[in-house]
Amino acid sequence: MDIREPELLHKVRDVLRLKKKETVHAFDGKGIEFSCKVISMDKKSLLLERREKSQEAAKPCCVITLAFPMLKEDKIDVILQKGTELGAGVLSPFISSRSIQATPSTTRLSRWHKIVIEATRQSERLWLPRVAPLCRIEEIITQQYDLKIVAAQKGKPLPENLRNKKAKQILLVSGPEGDFSPEEEKLIAANDFFPVSLSKNVLRAETASVALMGLVHYHTSFN
């Protein structure tokens, strides 16, 4: 494997200080980790020889899609990083009437993917989350899932089928700054969403998204 990513090269060369013939672990993003031998390394590239499989993780039985509104770049960075650390299987940005309307550039999309990869590596996950293409809120909320949950100020406790781990495909949606429009709220209600309250306090959009992911992750992973 020929690695040329500057951030990864920095970590291997300057942080881990690995030398030639030493061993490093790499994952393929599809549940498998390999031990690799360092063949050569310079300022621009790292050449690894893949050896034996060192670890394998089964595909998650519950896939959580975290749908979040377009926000300012640093806020989306937080959602991508923390959503990945908390086990999201799909990260799905959307545009709604009160969200930022801009379409992410190629450079920004590349940055998103780097954030997700690094968060996956840092949290020692072996399955890489997928960053879905940008869509309208109407598109994401009308899709079919076993369970659909929306963050709501006047919501309810988590539904029983989540606590019992019966749902295998879960969609989580949180609103933009200023929340959803009345028309969007009606459409959400008409598409079988379960409203869940996250706090008595009013949360920022990025905080609500991460809090919702954390709450559901806890109940699907440990309860």
- If asked whether residues 51 and 67 sit together in one domain, one would say no
Q: Report yes or no: 104 and 134 within 8 Å, Cβ to Cβ.
A: yes
pLDDT digits (tens, 9 = 90+) for 142-160: 999 999 999 998 888 776 6
- If asked whether residues 92 and 141 sit together in one domain, one would say yes
pLDDT of residue 140: 96
Task: Report residue 160 as tokens.
Answer: 């029983």
pLDDT of residue 106: 93
Q: Which amino acid is at 100?
A: I
pLDDT of residue 155: 84
Q: Report yes or no: 41 and 48 within 8 Å, Cβ to Cβ.
A: no
Average pLDDT, stretch 78-99? 97
pLDDT of residue 167: 83
pLDDT digits (tens, 9 = 90+) for 22-39: 787 788 888 888 888 888
- If asked whether residues 163 and 179 sit together in one domain, one would say yes
pLDDT of residue 55: 84
State the chain's mean pLDDT as an integer. Answer: 89
pLDDT of residue 159: 66
The residue assigned the tokens 């942080």 is: 15
Average pLDDT, stretch 203-215? 96
Average pLDDT, stretch 3-18? 76
pLDDT of residue 108: 94
pTM of structure: 0.86
- If asked whether residues 8 and 51 sit together in one domain, one would say yes
Residue 110 clears pLDDT 60, i.e. is over it:
yes
Residue 99 clears pLDDT 90, i.e. is over it:
yes
Give the CATH number, domain containing residue 84.
3.40.1280.10
Give the CATH number, domain containing residue 47.
2.40.240.20
Among 16, 35, 56, identify where a domain stops.
56
| Structure confidence at residue 2 as a pLDDT band (50, 70, 90) | confident
Task: Give the count of domains, the chain.
Answer: 2
Q: Which amino acid is at 29?
A: G
Q: Which domain holds residue 75?
A: 63-221
| Structure confidence at residue 109 as a pLDDT band (50, 70, 90) | very high
What residues have CB less than 8 Å from 196, skipping those under 6 apart? 149, 150, 151, 152, 155, 156, 157, 158, 212, 215
Residue 185 clears pLDDT 60, i.e. is over it:
yes
pLDDT of residue 193: 95
Beta bridge partners of 92: 67
- If asked whether residues 113 and 42 sit together in one domain, one would say no
How is 109-153 classified by DSSP, letter by letter? HHHHHHHHHHHHHHTT-SBPPEEPPPEEHHHHHTS--SEEEEEEE
- If asked whether residues 28 and 79 sit together in one domain, one would say no
